[in-house]
Amino acid sequence: MPSSERIKDKQQEKLLLIATVEELFAREIALREQSDTGPLLVFPSQMTREWPLAPDPEGKAVILGFEGAIVGIYTTLTVRLSRSAFFKCKEMWKNAAIFEAQVGGECGIWLRHIGNVDEGKAELTLFFKPEASEHTRLQFEEYVHTHLKRRALPETIQRRRIVVCTECGASVNESHVILRKKRGFDWINCSVCDARISLLDGDSSLSSPRAEIPQIIKMDIAADKGREIETATSIIKGKEATNDFDVFLSHNSKDKPFVERIAELLRQHGLNPWLDKVEIPPGMSFQKYIINGIKQSKSAAVFISTNGLGDWQEQELLILNNRRVKKNLPIIPVLLPGLNVIPDEPDVLLFFSELNWINFKENVDELEPLEKLIQGIKGLYKD
C-alpha cells in the first residue's frame, strides 16, 4: 500500500489493524496459523492454488447441492471444521480443503459453482481417504450437512450419495442403486469384485443413529470456543497496545500459580488483567509499577487465602480502598480454597468485609465462581 494512503498515526493504524483482525475472527472469515516467521492469517475463500484432483477426487462419497451465500457458507464451514477439535485442516486449495480426523484418516470438501458464480448455486463434494473409518465419515458428513441446513436455503439442499465398493473402489451405477432400493434391497453386489455393498444412507447405517448428535454438538461447542479464544486474543492485543487493563490482580506471591491460571482464563474471555509477573520488568521498582497498574485498571480482584496477605498486598489494599471510596473503583474479594469468609485480620481486610465476595471452594477450574468473577469485572454481577 502506498505510504500516502496509510494512516499517519502509527498507533492508530495498529489499533485499526487489530480491530480488523478481531472482526475477521468473530465472523469466522479467517484462521490463524503458525509459521516459521510467526502467526499468519489464512483466508479459505482467497486461496488461488488450483486443486489437482478436481473435478473427480479419489474417494468421493457424497455430493450436497445447495443455494445461498456460497462463499460465506464455504468459508465458515472450513473455519469451523478447523476449530472443531475433531478435525484439523491439513491443506487448502482454491475451493478445496483436506482435514485430518483426530482419530485418524482424512476427509475433504470440494466446492463447485453451478452456472454463474453470482447465481448462488453450488455443490459440495465430500471425499475420504481409505483410512477414514465409517464413523469418521458419517460424523464429517453430518456436520457438513448440519452447517448447510443452518447457512444455506434449507429447501434447496439435496444430498446425492456416490456408492463405492469398499473392497476395490469401483463406483456403482446410480441408476442401479435406485432400482435396487425400489425393489426393497439395502445392498448390491459390486460388478467388478462381487463384494456386497451397503446401500443404507448415512443417517441409517449406524446401529444407533442418534449417537452422532452429541458429537455434532461437541464439535459446535469446540468451534464456538475456538472463535471466542481467537477473538479474545485480538481484543487483548488492542488493550495491551493502549495499556488498558480490565482488572488489577492483588495477591500473595504464594498463591501465584492459582492467580496466573485465573489470569489466563480471563484473557480467554477478552479481559486484560494486570499481573505483576507480566507487567513489572526485572530490576524495576515494584512500587511505581503497582501504583500505575492500579490507576490503569478499571477494577480490582483481591485474592485472599489461608496464606494471608503478601508483603506488598497490604499496601495495595490501602491504595485500592482509597480509590474505591474516591473513584468508585469496583473491588471484588476472591476467596481461595480453604476460606469461606473474609478474615478479620489484618485490619485492612475489614474495609472489604461488606463487599460481595466470590469463593473458589476446590480449584481454579470451577465454572460458577469464574463466571461470577468475569461478570463482576464487567460490572454485570449482582448477588
pLDDT digits (tens, 9 = 90+) for 37-74: 777 889 999 999 999 888 888 888 899 999 999 999 99
Q: How far is CA 32 from CA 28, 106, 203, in A?
A: 11, 21, 34
pLDDT in tens, 196-239: 988 876 443 333 344 446 889 999 999 999 999 999 988 898 88
Q: 0.85 cut: is pTM over it?
A: no
Q: What is the Cα–Cα distance from 204 to 37, expressed in whole angstroms?
A: 47
- Comparing 82-96, 143-157, 205-219, the range with the smallest average pLDDT is 205-219
Which band of pLDDT confidence, cut at 50, 70 and 90, is reported for residue 4?
low
Domains, the chain: 45-163+199-220 (3.30.310.180), 244-378 (3.40.50.10140)
Q: What is the Cα–Cα distance from 2 to 10, expressed in whole angstroms?
A: 15
According to the model, what pLDDT value does residue 208 have?
A: 39
Asked if 96 contacts 54 with a C-beta cutoff of 8 angstroms, the reply is: yes
Closest by CA position to 94, among listed 47, 52, 127, 126 = 47
Cell, residue 102 = 483426530
